[in-house]
Amino acid sequence: MDGVIALYKERGMTSHDCISKLRKILHTKKVGHTGTLDPNVDGVLPICIGQATKISELLMHSGKIYRGAIMLGQSYDSEDLDGKLIEQVAIDKPLTNDQIDHALAKLTGDIMQTPPMYSAVKVNGRKLYEYAREGLTIERAARPIHIDYFKQIKPSHYDETSKTQTIYFEVACSKGTYVRTLAVDFGKLVGFPSVMSDLTRISSGGFDISQTSSLSDIQSAVDAGRIDDVLHPLSEALASYPVYQLDDSRWEIVSHGGFLDKSICPEHSAVVRLDYQQTVKALYKFDEKVGQYRPFRMFLA
């Protein structure tokens, strides 16, 4: 059983909960996720099964797309609604669409972001959220991230009663981006406290939310003996890489971990997928020092 399940993670569950349940459903321990989703966030969570666990890190480094909402007028210590309200300012005059778009545009491209205190980033051997739970704020270094785009997806909503304004967005971002923090940084740009009030991940690891399966879907597929209905093969998970079809002689070399010359990829791509008899067998990476492709990830079993 080798491949990737594009799991729809429901709210209220941790990523670890999902792994634990899938191990029981699939009766295998070779299950790994491709980066966590906070319990209050739903959406795409690619899960690697069997040999596909070897590409977990590769999928983890892919870009991600989220849809969500930012509420202006309130801020929370956790940067989402799960935390404690720490500031509230009435918005008497809501922002215009042009003002919103201008601020969102400032948070695109290559930017620096400071990880939130309620995160799993480690400082001095401890996770930041452990300090936060003790009421401590630790100095932490800003990190580079990349935002492909950050845009409105429908008109904002102004609540006359609470004097808050909610902005609905979509963002495409690099690994390591905290969307909660983007929401807070947006508020700083426009001069109001802000909080991420809703978030769904709609794309990750090359999989779209339309391709996802729930835990109950997966259980039903297993019960019916139709696991292939929810398990995406390695060839699909690695579809973004150029493919070289091995002949018998080169398959012999690859099966023993040997190097291959540049002729396998005229475009000289950094990483090449190697297939033999219509089955993915390896990813090979170009080594500048030796001028050849060498093993990067192997799927020989």
Active-site positions? 38
Single out the residue of 18, 50, 26 nearest to residue 223, CA to CA: 26
Whose structure tokens read 């270094």?
141
Distance CA 146, CA 110 (A): 5
Q: How is the beta sheet containing 271-276 ordered, strand by strand?
A: 243-245, 271-276, 279-287, 292-298
Distance CA 186, CA 194 (A): 8
What separation in angstroms does the CA of 102 have from each of 26, 106, 184, 190? 48, 7, 16, 10
3-state DSSP call for residue 156? strand
DSSP label at residue 213: B
